[in-house]
Amino acid sequence: MSSLNLDDFTDLIERPDGGVRRDAEARRERQAVPPGSLGRLDELGEWLAAAQSAVPVRAIERPRVVLFAGDHGVAGLGVSARPAGSADVLVRSVLAGASPVSVLARRHGVPVRVVDMALDCEPESLPDEVVRHRVRRGSGRIDVEDALSLEEAEAAFRAGVAVADEEADSGTDLVVLGDVSVGGTTAAAVLVAALCGTDASVVTGRGGQAIDDLAWMRKCAAVRDALRRARPVLGDQLQLLATVGGADLAAITGFLLQSAVRKTPVILDGVVSAACALVGQRVAFRAPDWWLAGQSSGEPAQAKAFDRMALEPLLSHGVTVGEGAGALLALPLVEAAAALAAELPEASSASDGLAAPEASEAE
């Protein structure tokens, strides 16, 4: 029996400040550029003002990419284009600055944090700050066994909560959230299918590196078998994560919920973060108000999860590489929305500025 009561998050999580959002909308209506003419940038600026409880909205000054990493036993079935147990190779690429997210983060001046939850490698082979939250080495093969014990799921969830607190305490004002995993999209598809009541074929995609038809059929079968194991525990979200999730997914769920408690906005990346967000919504229905869907990756489970949470992706570039790269591409859009909301002059100020040269010429 777990000592963790997820129901507490329902009381702890408040919606972004509705009064402040109305003030931001009123301010936008007074600005010289007509309301609505900036499209979703208007909506983003108002959402950010409500999340910050500030009008005018403050600039995003300390964004951070946070990646949770883990290997999944189900990858041993050949459901991924990458070899089972090789997520540590991806992590090393991120740490070396050679991965897509590293290049993009360097370009935008955003630090990247990697948190190992269940990589299938010796912990001594990675830096201490990466491995200090690790729960176990790899997660179980979810089509035939639980991903984690309930105690391990609780430990992973609490680790995610702790990381969210660390980020909030350090001044991080927006998180780009992603995963580094092998087999993670299979576990994510199972969670989405279970929570949305759909069949395996509806949610099973091709993964980060597009798999062939044979591998896709193996993946469908794995999702189907894991889904049978998931349905009996649907009423207990922590047990669901233990049964068919994994340490990285449990940690991401805890991170998302605690970020909402701490009023830290989060941009979601691919299908893994989307699936964890869907679990989080089941725990606390107000939590998705703190999250943005960064991009549409083309994964059917991601689309299903975003639709269920009424989150509309900011971008649709079909980036499937994971690692938060697609969501990081959306960060400049959010930063632009903040700048426009804060810096565009009000109509009277703009007209005053235009009137001054005319008066000078008359003189």
C-alpha span between 63 and 109 (Å, rounded): 9
C-alpha span between 326 and 177 (Å, rounded): 10
One domain, residues 51 and 81: no
One domain, residues 115 and 205: yes
Residues 294/315, Cβ–Cβ less than 8 Å: yes
Q: Kindly provide the b/e burial profile for residues 167-184, where b requires at least 16 CB atoms within 10 angstroms of the residue's own CB.
A: bbeeebbbbbbbbbbbbb
In this predicted structure, what is the pLDDT of residue 35? 86
One domain, residues 129 and 222: yes
Residue among 243, 226, 16, 222 at smallest CA distance from 146? 243
C-alpha span between 73 and 51 (Å, rounded): 38
- pLDDT at 354 > cutoff 50: no
In this predicted structure, what is the pLDDT of residue 91? 97
Average pLDDT in the 283-289 region?
Answer: 97
Tell me the CATH number at 277. 3.40.50.10210
Classify residue 3: in a domain, yes or no: no
One domain, residues 208 and 315: yes
pLDDT tens-digit series, residues 112-141: 999 999 999 999 999 999 999 999 999 999
Question: Pairing between strand 63-71 and 266-268?
Answer: unpaired
In this predicted structure, what is the pLDDT of residue 150? 97
In this predicted structure, what is the pLDDT of residue 32? 86
Classify residue 4: in a domain, yes or no: no
Residue among 145, 147, 121, 143 at smallest CA distance from 134? 121
pLDDT tens-digit series, residues 40-72: 999 999 999 999 999 999 999 999 999 999 999
Q: What is the mean pLDDT of the chain?
A: 93
In this predicted structure, what is the pLDDT of residue 347? 80
Residues 222/77, Cβ–Cβ less than 8 Å: yes
pLDDT tens-digit series, residues 309-341: 999 999 998 888 889 999 999 999 999 999 999
- Over pLDDT 70: what percentage of the chain? 95
In this predicted structure, what is the pLDDT of residue 1? 57
CA distances from 123 to 134, 160, 268 (A): 8, 18, 27
Which helix (H) or strand (E) segment holds residue 248: the answer is helix 247-261
**DSSP assigned state of 231:** G
Judge whether 299 counts as a catalytic residue: no
One domain, residues 48 and 160: no
One domain, residues 99 and 212: yes
What pLDDT band is residue 360 in, cutting at 50, 70 and 90?
A: very low
In this predicted structure, what is the pLDDT of residue 81? 87
Classify residue 8: in a domain, yes or no: no
Take residue 111 and report the two structure tokens written for it.
């630090």
Residues 238/158, Cβ–Cβ less than 8 Å: no
Per the listing, tokens 């999860």 go with 305
What pLDDT band is residue 358 in, cutting at 50, 70 and 90?
A: very low
Classify residue 6: in a domain, yes or no: no
Q: What is the 3-state secondary structure (H, E, C) of 126-171?
A: CCHHHHCCCCCCCECCCCCCCCCCHHHHHHHHHHHHHHHHHHHHCC
Classify residue 11: in a domain, yes or no: no
C-alpha span between 44 and 314 (Å, rounded): 10
Average pLDDT in the 144-153 region?
Answer: 98
Q: Kindly provide the b/e burial profile for residues 128-142, where b requires at least 16 CB atoms within 10 angstroms of the residue's own CB.
A: eebbebbbbbbbbbb
One domain, residues 206 and 226: yes
Q: Active-site residue among 151, 323, 335, 358?
A: 323
Residue among 152, 153, 240 at smallest CA distance from 194? 240
In this predicted structure, what is the pLDDT of residue 218? 94
In this predicted structure, what is the pLDDT of residue 352? 53
Residue type, 96: A
Q: 291 forms bridges with which residues in the sheet? A: 266
Classify residue 108: in a domain, yes or no: yes
Classify residue 20: in a domain, yes or no: yes
C-alpha span between 205 and 161 (Å, rounded): 29
pLDDT tens-digit series, residues 181-213: 999 999 999 999 999 999 999 999 887 667 889
What is the domain extent for residue 276? 63-332
Total domains in the chain come to 2
Tell me the CATH number at 349. 1.10.1610
What pLDDT band is residue 349 in, cutting at 50, 70 and 90?
A: low
C-alpha span between 92 and 97 (Å, rounded): 9
Q: What is the DSSP string of 292-356?
A: EE-B--S-HHHHHHHHHTT---SB-------TTHHHHHHHHHHHHHHHHHHHSPBHHHHHHHHHH
In this predicted structure, what is the pLDDT of residue 359? 40
Residue among 321, 283, 256 at smallest CA distance from 5? 283
One domain, residues 25 and 98: no
The answer for residues whose C-beta is within 8 angstroms of residue 121's C-beta and 6 or more apart is 85, 88, 137
pLDDT tens-digit series, residues 209-238: 678 899 999 999 999 999 999 999 999 999
